[in-house]
């Protein structure tokens, strides 16, 4: 009994010691989220802000628009286009970073041990620079008079400059460049633990390179692939700076659309509802990741 009482007292003291940190975490993290959720159920004000009257217009505005003359609801095609563009570009960014990051991670993991630190150091260098600066750097490369078009014109590959800037392609290139290290690092961690003797065993059993890649390498490094995909997909879905700089005003994504509602649109409930929707999508992606990771770690699942 005495030991149990001491254990309960120790646990209670631990909670009391962590109480200030928990309160700070709730106020700093959960507080703004609660405000956003509450705002999504209020009435938009005439000049921004909200009117404290319950309304579902913010949520219906995600998929529908109300006619200014007769008040009828119609499908918000522009909103659906923005959602589709955001999801599409996020998926394509994840695929592009994997296509570039897997060979890079494999190359680093197969270098001598004394060289891997240098290669990883080179991969992390972009993180030393502000995201906005990196995005402007890509802008200087792909714009009409940028480095890419200048080189292609000089060597005679093209006759007229490529119109890449302010397109979905430009946003895709920018996000793939920005988030590539987030894919390389988890892949390297998974490949670094890979037993290379399994490759020899596969080749001894007359497996082709493709069969070894598909049936030996990819299943073993699957946790790294899932982790890298989540680390790229989640920030890509809510990206704001890169679509704003490289996509211009006509190629916005969910992050830009939310910003538009809070500022120029002055529709705070709709912006809040969009923010919560984005949070739900990200949470669903994380749940899929956890489920896939648990299934991959449990061979009998």
CATH code of 178's domain: 1.10.3720.10
Better-scored residue on pLDDT, 53 or 48: 53
pLDDT of 4 > 90? The answer is no
Kindly state whether residue 148 falls inside one of the protein's structural domains. yes
Q: Is residue 71 part of a domain?
A: no
Inside any domain, residue 207: yes
Instruction: Please indicate, yes or no, if residue 276 is contained in any of the structural domains.
Output: yes
**Radius of gyration of the chain from its Cα atoms, rounded to whole angstroms:** 25
Residue 72, in any domain of the structure: no
Across the range 144-173, mean pLDDT stands at 90
Same domain? For 7 and 142 the reply is no
139 and 251 assigned to the same domain: yes
Is residue 299 predicted with pLDDT exceeding 50? Answer: no
Q: How confident is the model at residue 297 (pLDDT cuts 50, 70, 90)?
A: low
Q: In terms of domains, do 139 and 18 share one?
A: no
Whether 270 and 133 map to the same domain: the answer is yes
**Does a structural domain hold residue 49?**
no
Residues 86 and 217 in one domain: yes
Longest alpha-carbon distance in the chain: 87
Q: Are residues 279 and 189 in the same domain?
A: yes
Domain that holds residue 6: 1-28
Q: Are residues 276 and 135 in the same domain?
A: yes
Q: Using one digit for the tens of pLDDT, what is the confidence trace for 7-35?
A: 777 777 778 888 888 888 888 878 888 89
Band (pLDDT 50/70/90 cuts) for residue 301 is very low
Phi, psi of 219 (to 5 degrees): -60, -35
Residue 53 within any structural domain of the chain = no
In this prediction, residue 300 has a pLDDT band, given cuts at 50, 70 and 90, of very low
Residue 41: inside a domain, yes or no? no
pTM: 0.84
Could you give the number of structural domains in the chain? 2
Mean pLDDT value across residues 213-224 = 88
More confident: 3 or 256:
256
Question: Does residue 97 register a pLDDT over 90?
Answer: yes
Give the tens place of pLDDT for each residue, 249-294.
Answer: 778 899 999 999 998 888 999 999 999 999 888 888 888 777 776 7
């Amino acid at each position: 009994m005495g030991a149990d009482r001491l254990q309960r007292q120790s646990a209670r003291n631990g909670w009391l010691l962590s109480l200030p940190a928990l309160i700070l975490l709730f106020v700093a993290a959960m507080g703004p989220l609660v405000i956003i959720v509450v705002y999504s159920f209020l009435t938009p004000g005439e000049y921004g802000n909200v009117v404290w009257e319950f309304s579902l217009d913010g949520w219906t505005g995600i998929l529908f628009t109300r006619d200014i003359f007769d008040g009828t609801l119609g499908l918000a095609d522009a909103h659906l286009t923005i959602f589709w563009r955001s999801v599409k570009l996020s998926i394509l960014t994840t695929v592009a970073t994997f296509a570039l990051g897997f060979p890079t991670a494999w190359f680093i993991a197969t270098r001598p041990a004394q060289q891997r630190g240098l290669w990883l150091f080179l991969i992390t260098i972009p993180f030393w620079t502000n995201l906005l600066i990196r995005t402007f750097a890509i802008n200087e490369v792909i714009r009409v008079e940028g480095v890419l078009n200048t080189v292609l014109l000089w060597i005679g590959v093209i006759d007229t400059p490529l119109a890449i800037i302010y397109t979905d392609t430009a946003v895709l290139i920018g996000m793939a460049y920005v988030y590539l290290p987030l894919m390389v690092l988890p892949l390297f961690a998974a490949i670094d633990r890979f037993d290379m003797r399994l490759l020899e065993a596969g080749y001894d059993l007359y497996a082709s390179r493709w069969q070894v890649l598909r049936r030996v390498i990819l299943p073993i490094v699957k946790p790294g692939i899932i982790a890298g995909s989540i680390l790229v997909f989640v920030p890509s879905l809510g990206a704001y700076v890169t679509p704003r700089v490289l996509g211009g005003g006509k190629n916005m994504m969910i992050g830009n659309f939310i910003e538009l509602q809070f500022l120029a649109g002055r529709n705070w409930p709709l912006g809040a509802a969009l923010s919560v929707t984005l949070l739900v999508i990200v949470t669903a992606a994380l749940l899929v990741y956890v489920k896939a990771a648990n299934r991959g770690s449990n061979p009998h699942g």
